[in-house]
Amino acid sequence: MRTGRVIGFDGADVLVRLVDAEGGEAEIARIPQEEASMRRTDHPSELFEVGQEISAEEVWRWGEGQLHLSARACEIPALRSFLLALEVGQVVSGTVAKVHDFGVFVHVDGEPDGLRTGFIRVPDLAWGWFSHPSEVVEAGQRISAEVIITETRTGQVTLSLKALQDDPLIRVDPATRIPEMNRRVPHGR
């Protein structure tokens, strides 16, 4: 996370003079309009004023070019802390909030009040075939899922129910829980 002061606007982008570790002025960075806030605005000047001190997350730098930042990743400190505390592979619990054609929204235990941070994509619901996610889970159902991705910029954590299920394509020796090895035959023989 970086700290700096707004020095102006370049079209719909915010220009920020960053502060270095010693408190002195450093380089000028850019916050693209889509990274300014989770709220919809016509122009970032509705959110920021010249001279305002802000915190933002480093997003990317093109080669030796200008650093791009995301203010939206730091907009809700409690949400940022919650997401940064999660680790890929960690198993979390939560309650299914809504089921849609494209996936499932989940209230993850411990998330800040008023937010819905979890999302399960359709391919991450189950190994078997189903025609709609409502065949796998329903609103109000308690679930456990594995963390796949945490994203501070969107304020979401991508989860997987399938990651906690045995892969039906891999045969496992029940005594050792180690996958059985099949003999491989080189192609064309």
In a domain, 171, yes or no: no
For the chain, which residues score pLDDT lower than 50? none
| 122 plus 141 within the same structural domain | yes
In a domain, 179, yes or no: no
Domain boundary among 74, 99, 116: 74
User: How much is the pLDDT for 66?
Assistant: 87
Q: Percentage of residues in the chain with pLDDT exceeding 70?
A: 88
In a domain, 172, yes or no: no
Instruction: Single out the residue of 95, 98, 99 nearest to residue 135, CA to CA.
Output: 99
Spatial distance between the Cα atoms of 168 and 110, rounded to a whole number of angstroms: 32
In a domain, 180, yes or no: no
Burial of 112 by CB count in 10 Å (0-12 exposed, 13-18 middle, 19+ buried)? middle
| 101 plus 55 within the same structural domain | no
| 85 plus 158 within the same structural domain | yes
Find the CATH number of the domain harbouring 8. 2.40.50.140
pTM value > 0.85:
no
| 139 plus 118 within the same structural domain | yes
User: b/e string for 130-147 if b means 16 or more Cβ within 10 A?
Assistant: eeebeebbeeeeebebbb
Dump strand ranges (E) for the chain: 2-10, 13-19, 25-31, 53-61, 67-70, 91-100, 103-108, 118-121, 142-151, 156-160, 172-173, 178-179
User: How much is the pLDDT for 63?
Assistant: 77
| 29 plus 105 within the same structural domain | no
State pLDDT tens for residues 139-155. Answer: 999 999 999 999 999 89
Interstrand relation of 156-160 and 118-121 (parallel, antiparallel or unpaired): parallel
| 48 plus 93 within the same structural domain | no
Domain boundary among 29, 49, 74: 74
Burial of 9 by CB count in 10 Å (0-12 exposed, 13-18 middle, 19+ buried)? middle
- Which residues have C-beta within 8 Å of that of residue 64, sequence separation ≥ 6? none
| 112 plus 67 within the same structural domain | no
Spatial distance between the Cα atoms of 160 and 4, rounded to a whole number of angstroms: 37
> Domain span at residue 143?
77-164
| 59 plus 103 within the same structural domain | no
| 95 plus 48 within the same structural domain | no
User: How much is the pLDDT for 96?
Assistant: 97
| 113 plus 151 within the same structural domain | yes
In a domain, 124, yes or no: yes
Number of domains in the chain: 2
